Amino acid sequence: MKIFLDTANIKEIKDAVDIGIIDGVTTNPSLIAKEQGCDFKEVIKEICGIVNGPVSAEVIALDWENMVKEGRELAKLNNHVVVKIPFTRDGVKATSILAADGINVNVTLVFSPNQALLAAKAGAAYISPFAGRLDDIGHDGLEVVQQCQDIVSAYDYDTEIIAASIRTTTHVLDCALMGIDIATIPYGVLMQMFKHPLTDIGIEKFLSDWKKTQQ
């Protein structure tokens, strides 16, 4: 499974990329807003310089003409840029147009497998179902992610599923066990994945035993 980092924080991205386990980055307007005072396009360019993989940058327009216009401008920033477009009728139309131009699109705010089917047919390179936000309203978010994955895999669409709105290490584990193409993970969740108390206890014990051999 590919691991993307779901953040626009340069420090977090540098730190995780440095470990050598990050395949890409996703941002959205809320994540950009958290990085106070940053210039959106400059941040995207900077992220592209750090990550050797796709970097999603989201359009703000809601009508297809301006989505296409913004998408083309974002795609010019760097060849790592993936244009992120919200799933709406206009969004699907803009996706078809941008995909025909050879621009990679990540269709976001997907909450049902039928939405994923339409995004795949429009030529989306990536489709992002939101697990956590479905869980928030009492649905099974990961079941929807799995259904989206099953549809694109069954018909061999040239599309990868990105499990988004990942909140816990259990979400990540379930995605990996289900064979989801990509999980985009907040930095905090990624850091939790490193931790296991038995690893810490094991290191302590190895070191104390080693010290005994040096006396």
Q: Return residues touching ligand G3P (CB under 6 A).
A: 6, 26, 28, 31, 130, 132-133, 164-165, 167, 184
State the DSSP code for 37: T
Q: What minimum distance in Å lies between the beta carbon of 133 and ligand G3P?
A: 5
CA distance 17 to 170: 22
Is the Cβ of residue 115 or residue 165 nearer to ligand G3P in the bound state?
165
Nearer to ligand G3P, 22 or 97 (CB): 22
CB of 176 to ligand G3P, least distance (A): 17
Alpha-carbon gap, residue 210 to 53, rounded angstroms: 41
3-class SS of residue 178 = helix
The burial class, CB within 10 Å (0-12 / 13-18 / 19+), for 122 is: buried
Catalytically annotated residue among 84, 121, 195, 212? 84
Q: How far is the CB of 111 from ligand G3P (least distance, A)?
A: 11
Closer residue to ligand G3P, CB minimum distance, 73 or 135: 135
| 16 and 3 Cβ atoms separated by less than 8 Å | no
Query: Is 205 one of the catalytic residues?
Result: no
User: Catalytic residue numbers?
Assistant: 84
